[in-house]
Structure 1
Amino acid sequence: MTTLGIYEKALPKNISWLERLQLAKKLGFDFVEMSIDETDQRLQRLDWTKEERQEIRVAIEETGIQILSICLSGHRRFPFGSQDKEKRSQALILMEKAVDLASDLGIRTIQLAGYDVYYEEKTVTSRAFFIENLKKAVAIAAAKEVVLSIEIMDDPFINSITKFLKIKEQIRSPYLQVYPDLGNLSAWSENDVGYELALGIDQITCIHLKDTLAVTETFSGKFKEVPFGSGCVDFLGCLKTLKQLEYNGPFLVEMWSETSETPEKEIEQAKNFLIPYLKEAGY
């Protein structure tokens, strides 16, 4: 039985966690992926009190809708690969707090953005710092049995499973895995998507379902807010490939409709587009 989740940023922004999980349930999802991005508002979640954490555990129990993963994109602001030593140490503090939060809330996976740096220039040094600090992060996560899963990105640093596996060669741990985004994987013309999924099948913790516009020589691609069906992703091909590879992990619908006038309608449209493909592929 495959589980289907929804990204927190698809759901209305200014509602309580109980309301968010109730809405996910009403819309027919099995779980929610929490966002801890680079805004102060969401980074503050890493310092939730015992009482605030308990409130969320109660909401999970009451609704039966779990939070299976955290999308920790706060590292864009405090990257592992930064030239700034202060930012690198802040990155590890964020990591430790995120692992503690995941452990407290029963969250299994923390998705990390596969950037060495985001706002700085990429160098051989930024790559070396990234790997050095990722090793430390994996050790922190392993101690609490939380898996770190690197998303395949909208950025050349890790835009394929092949590139993830090159880094994994240096960090041999079951607590470091990969989180392919079918949109990001498909947008880079150098990726043979079916081959990439087969290559990484034994490392995949979850799959993001999202459409994208492909990168070309004259266009830098579009990686967010591309309506399902208007982009370059061959959903049936990707899902059939995953089924043949016996992938039974969760799927997560990634959308950004939290400030939309009609988020529920947009989510329903996305489901109406995706579910026939999931069924046809055998899910």
Structure 2
Amino acid sequence: MHNLDKRPLGLYEKALPNKMDWKTKLESAKEAGFDFIEISVDESDGRLARLDWSQKKRDEIKELIARTGVRISSMCLSAHRRFPFGSEDEKTRERAREIMVKAIELSVDLGIRIIQLAGYDVYYEESNDRTKELFLEGLKEAVTLASRAGVILAIEIMDTQFLGTITRVMKYINELKSPWLKIYPDLGNLSQWAINPEGELELGLEHIVAIHIKDTKPGLFKCVPFGEGTVEFTKLFSKLKKLDYQGAFLIEMWADNNQSYNQKRAIKEVREARIWVEEKMKKGGL
């Protein structure tokens, strides 16, 4: 049963080795002290195939969730980096829509409440006024589809300038005016692009549904060990305390899949990250 007496802390799926099956991932997250996992549907063919899981496979996952008590509460849908809404290629946009539909359907089946959208108009193509226009069109349709299913879409604060701050995302929040379109800040990305990250959090507070906790440094947005980057976590957590933010946090980190992992080592790494983050939270008053 979900514990409503504490703020939920989740773990990004990729923090655990790729070779782990879902049973082991959920059990490992639980043993390391996490409340939920964020599933990844990225641009790789292997993870895109999850959108076509059979009903039997979906039922198996739901049974594991029930057995372990660790939910899959959110989905990191970064597949749109490869198949973006803003592409000037019509077939790519059709694929983007198909991915969106299937992601919503999978979310409904697994009890996922939030789909995190990658805030790119395009990634591998050149951005221009037309790609931004097409991105908005695709986003509008995605929000319509999600609203019919009761699933929240949340735009991530990204590792590129296009939607690298809450101020930039608010343009789309204000344009679409939907309770089903929200913001999913990444403290690491936000700290690199925003002059005043604390002010950005205050600006978007009423639209924030979850927050990624990740360390970064200038020009490096991934795989920076906690404490080795430039993110001022204590200050940001202190600001969130003052704002009375009560939503979920999620630790975003990556396992080194080039190394040999056993379950014990994987659990140790993510547990140590959790303890480090929780110490910063405590210093910030959370």
TM-score by length of 1: 0.95
Residue matched to 1:211: 215
Q: 1:111 is paired with a residue of what secondary structure?
A: strand
Q: Percent of counterpart pairs with the same letter?
A: 49
* Contact 2:215/2:227 (<8 A) preserved: yes
1:267 to 252, 265, 270: 270
- Map residues 6-85 of structure 1 onto 2, 5 A cutoff: 6-85=11-90
Q: Give runs of aligned pairs for residues 1-283 of structure 1, distance below 5 A.
A: 1-188=6-193, 190-214=194-218, 221-257=219-255, 259=257, 260=259, 261=261, 262-283=265-286
* CA–CA separation in structure 2 for the residues paired with 1:265 and 1:19: 14
Structure 2 partner of 1:218: none
| Residues 51-73 of structure 1: CA deviation (Å, up to 9, x unaligned) | 00000000000001000100000
* Structure 1 residue 16 displacement after superposition: 1.9
Distance 1:154 1:270 in 2: 22
Structure 1 stretches lacking a partner, 5+ long: 215-220
CA 1:6–1:258: 2 relative to 1, 3 Å: farther
TM-score between both structures, scaled by the size of structure 2: 0.94
Amino acid of the structure 1 residue aligned with 2:276: F
Which 4+ runs in 1 deviate beyond 4 A? none
Unaligned ranges ≥5, structure 2: 1-5
Q: 2:174, 2:93 → 1: CA distance?
A: 22
Aligned partners of 1:269 and 1:18: how far apart in 2? 21
CA distance in 2, matches of 1:250, 1:263: 23
Residues 2-32 of structure 1: CA deviation (Å, up to 9, x unaligned): 1111000001212221211011000000000
Aligned-pair CA distance for 1:99: 0.2
Within 1, Cα distance between the matches of 2:176 and 2:128?
A: 20
Q: Is the 8 A contact 2:32 2:268 kept in 1?
A: no
- State the superposition RMSD in angstroms: 1.0
Deviations 1:141-163 (A, max 9, x none): 00010000000000011000000
Number of residues paired by the alignment?
Answer: 276
- Secondary structure, counterpart of 1:273 in structure 2: helix
